[in-house]
C-alpha cells in the first residue's frame, strides 16, 4: 500500500514535513486528554485492530483476550502522557514493541515496529482528538485541524521512527484513512472478539470490580459500551465489519452526543480532562486543580536490540487487498475465528 504524500517538496525533491510545536500553547496539550476521548476508546481500538498486523499481533503476543480492560488501563495513560513528556517515554513505548512480530494468515511477515504499521496506530490517536470534538463538542476549524496534525508530527518525532509515512495536514490525513479503509483494514478475530464475543460472553472484569458483582452487571455495562462503539465507527467500517446500524440507532446516538456536549459545558474545568494529562496541564499552569504525580513505566527489558529491530522492521509491509476483496473474512476466516473461540 502506498502512503499518501502530503508534505511539500524542496527544490532538491526531498520532502519538507511541516511541524507545529508541542507545549502549553499547543492544541494537543489542551485537547489530547479531553475526557470525551474516553468515548472513543472502542473506536480507536477497533480502527487499530482492523489493521492485519495489529490484529494478528494481539492474537500472537497480547493478553488482550484474557484481560481487555487491564490492557486498556495499562496503555492509555502512557499514550496520553507521551504527548506531554519528552521523548524518553515515547521511546520506551516504542521499545516495548521490539519483539512483537510474526506471520499473518496469508503467510506474510509483520513487525509492529514497521513505520507504516506504527504510523497507522499513531494516526488514529491524533485523529481521535479531532473526531471527539466533531461528535461530542464544538468542531475545530480547518486551520486548527491542520495544526493538530502538525503537532502530531512533532509527537511522532519523539518515537524516533522513520519520517517515510508521515502526513502533515488534515486533508491528506483523511485521504490516508480512507485509503486504509478501502485497501488494508479488515474484519478479523481480534475485532470480532471486541465487538461481538465480549457482548455475548462474560469477559474478565476490570480491576477493582469483584467477580460476583461483575457477573450481575457485565451485560448492562458491555452492551451499551459496544453499541456506542458501533455509533462512532463510520459507515464504511461498519460495512466491512458487518455491523447493523439503523436510523433509530443514529437518532439515539445523536441525542446522547448532544447531552454529552451540554454536560461538558457545565463541568468544572479540571474535571474535563483525564489523567495524566490533567495533572500535566495543572503543572504547566494551563488549568487549576490538585496535581497527581504520574506513574512511570519500567524501561524496556524484553530482549533484542530496539535499534536493530527498527532496521529489520523497516522493509516489512502489509499488502493491499486485491481488487474485489471486501476486507471481511470468507469461510476460512469464519472457521479460524470459531477455532479461536469466537462464535461469529
- Tens digits of per-residue pLDDT, 241-289? 999 999 999 999 999 999 999 999 999 999 999 999 999 999 999 999 9
Higher pLDDT, 237 or 3: 237
CA–CA gap between residue 194 and residue 188 (Å, rounded)? 10
Residue 320 lies in a domain: no
The answer to whether 19 and 168 are in contact (CB under 8 A) is yes
Does 133 map to a domain? yes
For residues 52 and 44, is the Cβ–Cβ distance under 8 A?
no
202 domain-assigned:
yes
Element (H, E) at 27: helix 27-31
Asked if the structure places residue 305 within a domain, the reply is no
Find, among 30, 24, 151, 157, the residue nearest to 90 by Cα: 157
Measured between alpha carbons, how far is 222 from 213 in angstroms, rounded to an integer? 14
CB-CB contact of 148 with 28 (8 Å): yes
Q: How confident is the model at residue 343 (pLDDT cuts 50, 70, 90)?
A: very low
Q: Range of 108's domain?
A: 18-278
Which residues are bridge partners to 273 per DSSP? 34
Res. 15 pLDDT band, cuts 50 70 90: confident
Domain count, the chain: 1
In a domain, 286, yes or no: no
Cβ pair 34, 273 in contact under 8 A: yes
In a domain, 340, yes or no: no
Q: Which residue's entry shows cell 467500517?
A: 237
pLDDT at 314: 63
Residue 183 reports pLDDT greater than 80: yes
> What band does 76 get if pLDDT is binned at 50, 70 and 90?
confident
Mean pLDDT along residues 75-79 = 84
Percent of residues, the chain, with pLDDT higher than 70: 78
Phi-psi region of 93 (alpha: psi -120 to 50; beta: other; left: phi over 0): alpha
Does a structural domain hold residue 343?
no
| Model pTM score | 0.84
More reliable by pLDDT, 161 or 208: 161
337/329 Cα distance (integer angstroms): 9
Residue 307 in any domain: the answer is no
Are 126 and 58 spatial neighbours (Cβ–Cβ below 8 Å)?
A: no
Torsions phi, psi for 34 (to 5 deg): -60, 130
What's the pLDDT score for residue 202? 80
Amino acid at each position: 500500500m502506498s502512503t499518501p504524500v502530503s508534505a511539500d517538496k524542496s527544490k532538491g525533491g526531498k520532502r519538507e514535513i511541516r511541524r507545529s510545536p508541542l507545549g502549553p500553547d499547543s492544541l494537543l496539550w489542551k485537547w489530547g486528554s479531553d475526557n470525551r476521548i474516553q468515548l472513543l476508546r472502542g473506536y480507536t481500538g477497533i480502527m487499530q485492530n482492523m489493521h492485519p498486523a495489529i490484529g494478528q499481533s494481539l492474537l500472537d503476543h497480547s493478553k488482550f483476550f484474557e484481560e481487555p480492560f487491564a490492557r486498556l488501563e495499562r496503555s492509555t495513560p502512557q499514550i496520553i502522557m507521551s504527548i506531554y513528556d519528552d521523548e524518553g517515554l515515547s521511546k520506551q513505548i516504542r521499545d516495548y514493541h521490539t519483539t512483537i512480530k510474526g506471520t499473518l494468515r496469508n503467510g506474510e511477515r509483520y513487525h509492529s515496529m514497521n513505520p507504516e504499521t506504527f504510523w497507522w496506530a499513531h494516526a488514529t490517536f491524533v485523529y481521535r482528538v479531532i473526531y471527539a470534538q466533531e461528535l461530542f463538542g464544538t468542531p475545530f476549524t480547518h486551520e486548527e485541524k491542520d495544526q493538530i496534525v502538525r503537532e502530531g508530527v512533532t509527537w511522532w518525532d519523539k518515537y524516533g521512527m522513520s519520517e517515510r509515512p508521515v502526513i502533515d495536514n488534515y486533508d491528506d490525513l483523511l485521504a490516508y484513512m480512507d485509503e486504509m479503509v478501502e485497501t488494508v483494514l479488515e474484519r478479523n478475530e481480534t475485532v470480532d472478539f471486541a465487538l461481538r464475543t465480549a457482548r455475548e460472553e462474560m469477559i474478565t472484569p476490570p480491576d477493582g470490580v469483584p467477580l460476583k458483582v461483575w457477573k450481575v452487571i457485565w451485560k448492562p455495562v458491555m452492551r451499551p459500551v459496544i453499541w456506542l462503539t458501533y455509533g462512532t465507527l463510520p459507515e464504511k467500517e461498519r460495512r466491512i465489519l458487518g455491523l447493523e446500524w439503523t436510523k433509530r440507532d443514529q437518532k439515539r446516538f445523536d441525542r446522547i452526543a448532544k447531552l454529552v456536549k451540554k454536560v461538558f459545558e457545565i463541568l468544572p474545568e479540571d474535571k474535563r480532562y483525564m489523567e495524566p494529562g490533567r495533572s500535566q496541564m495543572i503543572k504547566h499552569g494551563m488549568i487549576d486543580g490538585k496535581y497527581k504525580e504520574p506513574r512511570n513505566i519500567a524501561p524496556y527489558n524484553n530482549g533484542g536490540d530496539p535499534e536493530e529491530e527498527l532496521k529489520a522492521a523497516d522493509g516489512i509491509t502489509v499488502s493491499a487487498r486485491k481488487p474485489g476483496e471486501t476486507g471481511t473474512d470468507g469461510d476460512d476466516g469464519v472457521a479460524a475465528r470459531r477455532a479461536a473461540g469466537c462464535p461469529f
